[in-house]
Amino acid sequence: MSAIRQLPSSVVNKIAAGEVIERPASVVKELMENSIDAGATRIDVVVEQGGLELIRVSDNGSGIPADELTLAVTSHATSKISDADDLFCVQTLGFRGEALASIAEVSRLLLRTRVASAEAGHELEVNGGQSSGVAPCGAPVGTTVEIRQLFFNTPVRRKFLRSTQTEMSHIAEAFTRLALANPHVHCTLSHNGRSQFDLPPAGHDWRGRIAAFFGHDLAADLIGVSSTDDEVRLEGFVASPSHSRGNARLQYLFLNGRAIRDRSLQHALGEAFRGLLLTGRYPIAFLQIQMPAELVDVNVHPTKLEVRFQESGKLYSQLLGTLRTKFLTSDLTARLRTDNQHEAALALDGDQADLMRRELVDWAKGQLTVSDQFAPADTARASQAMFEVPLENRAPLELSVLEPRPSAAATSGGAARTSANSAYRVDEPSPASRPPAGLQLHNRYLIAESGDGMVVIDQHALHERILYEHLREKVLTGAIETQALLVGEPVDLTPAEATAVLEAHELLAKLGLAIEPFGGSTVLVSSYPAMLANFRPADVLRDLATQLLGDGKRPESRDILDSLLHMISCKAAIKAGDRLSQDEIMALLEQRHLARDTHHCPHGRPTALYFSRDDLDKQFKRT
């Protein structure tokens, strides 16, 4: 080992930069935080190429005096705290004095600023940590910080960045948090010259600002909550249980104006909604917590996303108690009932399900005539029926419209269900008298004889696999069936989701889903894959977005397509719990040989378990 030596400050700064500035979104967060700390009432964020080319944040805040400019970009230089005691009563978003220095170390930074009392503005350029010196310039009161070529001198970090789309969705998320936490500030965001958000000051109308990001549908279903316990004030909204998500991303918690993540509070939210949401679903919440700064330690995380509460148990109880009381005293039941009915109707409605399944099976069998069968008018009628048919009167779930192909009919003495078709003989044995192709157990498994033994099949997994193969084939040959919507359906997404799906619009078009921007983070769906006709576009699009955003890893576009195919086939496939007729069982079993790899469903679970006759003989001690 070589001798111990003090690292040069540029290296120290690069190390620090690595902690604070992980990706372009970190820059946006730090710069917007500085603007807010400077008392700005307007912040404009301009981004090019997901922040890799340019990030410019301009504010009308206090500005920086010319003689402090150099200090502003020096590490551990801050105007926000002066001694260690201050650390325990931080009133500002920043206090570490590291952000500007870190950013300047790994980019080309231009800082232009003017305080109200100064005649002119001043600017300072820093290139990879090398400062140019301060020079006068014209500038309005406030500060503009321009970052170009982020990570140009740290190629490894740059290599770790994801696509423009992914980086932009992180930026949109950072912007969302700051704009939500500061409704009184006019915030704008543009990407590649296109305005993404222009949010005039919302004052006390927090719901309005939430609506600007997440749509009026959600905002209208928000339930206001507020409580005060000693010095701790809790205020905000939770969404009615009819809205939920597959992850906790829509749980926005703000502590003294700072967006935080807190497992314990998330848990309290989950507890409050226990029994109101299906397992695996997460409530949506926008909550502001105000407490004296000395009751919380914000200095535990470089990006200050996590904090430590002095009395975290008490806060947990306060949140849980507030929500429980609120739920007990509000009329959730009405909303729940309509919603369950709606969902049940979506899942089970006889006519619609029948139509869908007939189509699916035909499709799976390569006999599809979707285009005329599934004209928009038809769908409109079907979806209308969906709301009209009372659940109780629903016919038992019937899939029995599968037509065995002539060959199958011949070999298995198959069921001639459609006497209209002259290829079938009408005097064939009735379904009851022919030997069953397979047996359905627990509405979930199929049992069938195989050449040299028996096989137990997971009906959902098998159907999913079959649909997946067919769908992939269709996508590859560009022959996917879509239905154009007469009137496009606007879907409110989160900014990150909207960015993700819009950037992937070509890919989605391949799947039959045509979308276009519709202002803010609303996306207009103008055509839709036929096989998903009885799912709501909003739900499908959100699920697709969740897939696209994934776990932050940037998959190849082929992988994305694949995972979208999986999702669609999983949605469209018959479910465990669906009762199948003999014909449906037969059709499914028949398809088994057509799918390329039916041994595993697209999720990698086995679709079937085989038991050879030899095995059975052995088990029964016949050998």
Residue 80: contacted member of Mg ion, ligand ADP, none (CB under 5 to 8 Å, by partner type): ligand ADP
Q: Which of 54, 144, 143 lies closest to 107, judged by CA?
A: 54
Residues 173 and 545: their CA atoms lie apart, in Å, by: 14
Q: Is the Cα torsion angle 454, 460, 466, 469 positive or negative in sign?
A: negative
Return the residue of 27, 38, 268, 415 that touches ligand ADP, per CB under 6 A: 38
- Ordered alpha helix ranges (H), 161-275: 164-181, 206-214, 216-220, 263-272
Q: Which of 443, 611, 554 lies closest to 164, judged by CA?
A: 554
In the bound state with Mg ion, the residue whose beta carbon lies nearer, of 20 and 287, is 20
469 binds ligand ADP (CB under 6 A): no
Q: Which residue has the tokens 């955003």?
A: 549
Spell out the residues 6+ positions from residue 403 whose beta carbon is closer than 8 angstroms to its own: 362, 365, 367, 417, 418, 421
Q: Is the Cα torsion angle 428, 433, 438, 441 positive or negative in sign?
A: positive
**Least distance (Å) from ligand ADP to the CB of residue 62?**
5
Interface characters, 435-454, with ligand ADP (x: CB under 6 A)? --------------------
Cβ atoms of 202 and 183 within 8 Å: the answer is: yes
In the bound state with ligand ADP, the residue whose beta carbon lies nearer, of 96 and 460, is 96
Stretch touching Mg ion by CB under 5 A, among 87-95, 208-216, 233-241, 269-277? 87-95
Return the residue of 20, 64, 525, 549 that touches ligand ADP, per CB under 6 A: 64
In the bound state with ligand ADP, the residue whose beta carbon lies nearer, of 143 and 494, is 143
3 state SS for 418-462: CCCCCCCCCCCCCHHHCCCCCEEECCCEEEEEECCEEEEEEHHHH
99 binds Mg ion (CB under 5 A): yes
13 binds ligand ADP (CB under 6 A): no
- DSSP class of 245: B
Residue least distant from ligand ADP (Cβ): 94
94 binds Mg ion (CB under 5 A): yes
User: Which residues partner with 523 through β-bridges?
Assistant: 491, 517
Residues of span 142-171 touching Mg ion by CB under 5 A = none
Return the residue of 50, 51, 94, 215 that touches ligand ADP, per CB under 6 A: 94
Residues that bind Mg ion (rule: CB under 5 A) add up to a total of: 3
Return the residue of 26, 60, 78, 534 that touches ligand ADP, per CB under 6 A: 78
Q: Which of 531, 534, 244 lies closest to 389, judged by CA?
A: 534
**Least distance (Å) from ligand ADP to the CB of residue 40?**
7
**Least distance (Å) from ligand ADP to the CB of residue 143?**
4
34 binds Mg ion (CB under 5 A): yes
Residues 356 and 374: their CA atoms lie apart, in Å, by: 10
Residue 414: contacted member of Mg ion, ligand ADP, none (CB under 5 to 8 Å, by partner type): none
3 state SS for 547-578: HHHCCCCCCCHHHHHHHHHHHHHHHHCCCCCC
Residue 35: contacted member of Mg ion, ligand ADP, none (CB under 5 to 8 Å, by partner type): ligand ADP
Cβ atoms of 460 and 575 within 8 Å: the answer is: yes
98 binds ligand ADP (CB under 6 A): yes
Stretch touching ligand ADP by CB under 6 A, among 32-40, 370-378, 379-387, 501-509? 32-40
Would you state the structure tokens that stand for residue 296, as one six-digit string? 């919380």
**Least distance (Å) from ligand ADP to the CB of residue 101?**
6
Residues of span 127-146 touching ligand ADP by CB under 6 A = 143
Which spans of this chain sit near ligand ADP (rule: CB under 6 A)? Answer: 30, 34-35, 38, 59, 61-64, 72, 78-80, 94-101, 143
Site of interaction with Mg ion (CB under 5 A): 34, 94, 99
